[in-house]
Structure formats: structure tokens, C-alpha cells
Amino acid sequence: MTYTAPLADMRFALREVAGLDKIAALPGYEHATEDTIDAVLEEAGKLAGNGLAPLNREGDKIGAKLENGVVRTAPGFTGIYREFVDGGWNSLPFDPAFGGQGMPWLLAVAVQEMWQAANMGFGLVLLLNQGAIDAIHHHGSDAQKKTYLHKMISGEWTGTMNLTEPQAGSDLGQLKSRAVKDGDHYLVSGQKIFITYGEHDLAENIVHLVLARTPDAPAGVRGISLFIVPKFLPDADGKPGKRNDLRCVSLEHKLGIHASPTCVMSFGDDGGAVGYLVGEEGRGLSYMFTMMNNARLSVGVQGLAIAERAYQQAAAFARSRVQSKDDNRPDPAPVSIVHHADVRRMLMSMRAQIEAMRALGYYTAAGIDGALKTEDKAAGRKIQDRVDLLIPIVKAWFTDLGNEIASTGVQIHGGMGFIEETGAAQHLRDARILPIYEGTNGIQARDLVGRKITKDGGETMLALVAEMRALADEMRQAPGDDLAAIRTGVMASADALEDATKWVAQAAKTGLSDALAGSVPFLRLAGTALGGWLLARSALVAQGKLAIRDGDPAFLEAKLVTARFYTEVILPPALAQLGPLKAAGRTVFALREDQF
């Protein structure tokens, strides 16, 4: 089963939900015209469907291989990567001063959805490089930017993120890698694990961003610094020169994403890998968070992407698989399973949640552009606060749903879904890593409650609640039963999210553990409610376009039906999380450790 980019849905979410016209009007985005954006989406869709998607199955079956210290990527990967570089696809959202195209992040996120849906194993090299570019652009010296950014933005070189060590997973304060000053550079030594594309044959150089401690650094996170440690040291002309003292020791054997090499990296086995300090000593973790936040949005988009891929495959299978009679007809002849009620329920659940994710993901990406380009600094800061609030929701809610939707895809296939040849199982296996990496989803929920809500007592979230209520008021005079039902759901969502936010903000003041015990239900409630709000906005736009006959009636009617299904079927169980999030603290810690 291949992949076809859902361009009509993507355009609708870009324009009618995320406000692409307003983003394109921001200073610096004048070249992001409607024609240009449409052309980019069309070409990206072709490359994803015709170039990347056909390599996905073989990439899973064959995977990456480590041979004599060299990682060989799956068949076809080197050729398609060269096509990416030659086509300028890596450079889309980056600074033109360093060879970027300066297009909105909103467009880049939409294109990224296509890469990840078509071939997640390949898409990971693009994702990590993007984050590394962002970190160097924000925190690197002028000399570092000059040396690395042009090559990384073009894709000639790729970047990685080296955080995790065998004894230090999410608790980065336990890092032991060392960096000793040696003239104008440092000598870095230590081992890092789970390094995505830490070694590969796609690009001529790999730029590792490595967290390590200097000898006199204090314990904990305040003692961590960030270093650029390239595979090959750039020579005087900026070309790859001497091989640095680092190597891939082994590749992990994983449940999924087999095409993506997950490396154990060893630095400094022969005296020390040459590394260059980014910014100041002791501020490495704050610098790395620039990269991690970029990656968290991208991982959320991976959840959306794998859900879309699983949905497309499940829908195609449901239309072709013939089993049992149609319950609505007397004819005993068997029909395709898409006629059966439970299969329809599953497909509608997949579709509705995917559209809600896409709406919220693109809305968040538009916020990144607004924060970057809005000339009023105070207004830009408010937009950034909203983005910061939404990032953990996008990462966690999307990736949880990516798993659930990929699992539903297997269910629709029935027994055939459990057989590798159909490809449905690969989507589920690939999806399973997403709630784990870039901070587990429990850590995202902790961040949402322990940092984002407590930072301002929930005011940023309550401002979103106010916008939900404003939309409900706007819908009051709109005609039709569909919009009336959807409006009721928006009001219920606003009430539940306000109640939950105020409770969490208050609980965090008196006993953080109680608030944290309910943090995952809170995040789930928030994501589902905010997704429903944006689907309601989509439905209102669709109704307006239908009234004036602007657009494809079948497409617009589907927007109304999907939003109503989401409101009446998806929302109620999520809003019921209000009880568990308040109650969890009473029993989560009630048993002794030895009772588990």
C-alpha cells in the first residue's frame, strides 16, 4: 500500500484553521505567495508518494547495517537523499543568510507530515538535522554558523542530538561524558546511546551536538555544556578534513523504524574527540532545549503522519475486502467490509482524530511563525507562551493517538493485519517509539502541569478557553443541526478545560504530586478539547462555503459530518477525564513500594 498526500485536507487546515494568509503577510514571508505554497505542496506530495513511500517496506525489511564501522542505509536511501538535497527540500524554513529559503514553519510542518507519513525511517534524518540547525542558529558563534549552517541547511551535512547515556536517560543531570579544554577546542570522551542517524552513508559529514561536563563543572544539570563534535573536522576551505575520534560501536535492534540507524556512539577512544563549545559553559541543557522543542513538535507531526498512513491503508483494505452481507439490505451476497457498522466506526474515529491533530499541529506551527515574525515584541512573547503550552500537548496527544490509530488499522485488517506482508503491522511497530523519545509522554504531561500551567497559574490555557467560548458565540446564529450539535460540544469542552486548568493550577500550589498524578488525563483532555475547538472552526467555515457554493460540496459536507462525529463520539470520553485527573492523587501513591 502506497501513500497519497491528503493535499485537499492539508490546504484546508493551512488556510482555514492555521490562517496561512495572515502568516504569509508577516514581515519576511512576502515571498510565501499562494501560488508558491501550492506548488511546494504539490511537488512535495509527488516526492513523498512516488519517491519515499515505495522505499518504506524494503527499508523496514532490510534496515540499516553496520559493516566495518560504516553504517549502510537501506536500498534506495542514498539516491532519494541526493534527490532531497538537489531539490533544496532541506532548506525550506531556514534563514536565507545561510542558504535557506525563508519559508514559514507552517509550510515546513505540512511538508514534514508528508515525509514522515511516506517513510518515517528516512524522515528521521531530516528531523534531527532540522533540530541541530535550529540549535546552532540560535546559540552558535558567528564562526560556527559560517562553518556549519550552509552545509547543514543544504543537506550536504546532517546533524544529530547526543544526550542519552546508559546510566542517564531522561535524567540528564546524571551525564558522565567529559570535555577537557585543549587550546581553542575541547577533547570530548564518553558513550552516547540511542543516537538517531549517528552514523550513515547519506551525507559527507555528520555534525554531532553533544552534551558533556567540563572537569570543574558542578553536579546536576547546571554542569552540562554543549559541544559541536563533527565526524570530519572541517579544513580551511570548510570541507571535511581529518576524521575525528568518534565511532559507531553498534546499532540497536528495534521493534520498529528499522531503516533508521539507532547508534551507540563512542567519543574519544584514542585521546579525545575534538569538540567546539556552543555558547557558554554550563548552559548546554538550555541550548539543547531549543533543539528538543523543535524535535518535540516534529515528533508530534510523526504521530499525525503515521496515523494518516495507517488510515489510508485501512480505508483501502476496507473498500476491497469482501466479507459478510450488508446488514442494511436483504441481499445475502457478501460486501466489502466498509459497509459494516463497526468498521465504519473505526474509520470515522481514525479520520476525525487525524483531522483534529492536523488542525492543532498546523495551528501550533503558525504560532511559531507569529512569535518569530511579529514586530510587536510583547505580542510575540504572548504567542510564544501559547506555543510553549501547546508543544507538550502536540507531542504527547498526537503520538498516543498515532499508536491507537495504527492499532485500529491492524484491527480493520483483521487477521491479515497481524501478518507482516500487509504492511499494517509496520505502522504500529514504527508508531510505538513516538510516545517514548524526545521525552516520554509522561514527561510531556509533567512539563505541561509542572511548568506551563504553574508558570502563569493557567492563564495561557484559560485564554484559549475564552477563544473556544467566543467561537461558540459566533456559531449561535449558524444554521443547521450539525453546527448546533458541534457548538454544544465546544461549550462543554470549554467548561471542562476551564475546570481542569483551575484545579491543576491550584493543586500544583498545595501538592505538586497530586497534580502530577492527574497530569496525563489533563493533557488528554486538553488535546481532545482543543482539537475539537479547531474542528468546530473548520465546520463553521465549511458551512459558510456551502452556503455560497464555494468549493467541492462533498468535501465540505464531509468536514461537517466529521466534526459532528468527533463532537458526539470522541469528545465525551475525553471530557470524562476530569474526574480521574482530580482523583488520581488519592490512590496513586497509596501503596508502598514493596506492594508493586
Residue 539 C-beta-side C-alpha neighbours within 13 Å: 32
Q: Could you give the 3-state DSSP secondary structure of residue 205?
A: strand
- The Cα–Cα gap between 202 and 73 comes to 8
* Strand 205-213 relative to strand 157-162, pairing: parallel
Rounded Cα distance, 219 and 55, in Å: 46
Output the 3-class SS for 153-189.
Answer: HHCCEEEEEECCECCECCCHHHCCCEEEEECCEEEEE
Residues 6+ apart with CB under 8 A from 372: 105, 380
Question: Given the DSSP bridges, would you call strands 334-336 and 322-325 parallel, antiparallel or unpaired?
Answer: antiparallel
The neighbour count for residue 142, using CB atoms within 10 Å, is 7
Q: How far apart are CA 142 and CA 140, in angstroms?
A: 7
Chain mean position to CA 573: 24
Residues annotated as catalytic are: 438
Cell of 246: 568518534
Backbone φ and ψ for 74, nearest 5 degrees, come out as -65, 160
Whether residue 486 contacts residue 438, with contact meaning beta carbons closer than 8 Å, is answered with no
> What are the residues whose beta carbons fall under 8 Å from the beta carbon of 361, sequence distance 6 or more?
109, 113, 297, 300, 301, 304, 394, 398
Quote the cell numbers at residue 266.
Answer: 563512542
Kind of pairing between the strands at 157-162 and 240-243: unpaired
CA distances from 576 to 166, 492, 572 (A): 39, 11, 6
8 A C-beta contact, residue 577 and residue 505: no
How far, CA to CA in Å, does 521 sit from each of 349, 498, 581?
Answer: 19, 14, 5
Q: Which helix (H) or strand (E) holds 466?
A: helix 459-475
Sequence-separated (6 or more) residues with CB below 8 Å from residue 73: 64, 200, 201, 202, 259, 261
CA 90/CA 88 separation, integer angstroms: 6
> Where does residue 186 fall: left (phi above 0), alpha (psi -120 to 50 degrees), or beta otherwise?
beta
Distance of CA 123 to CAs 18, 51, 298, 472, 591, Å? 24, 12, 10, 39, 43
Alpha helices by DSSP H, 479-570: 481-510, 512-517, 519-547, 553-565
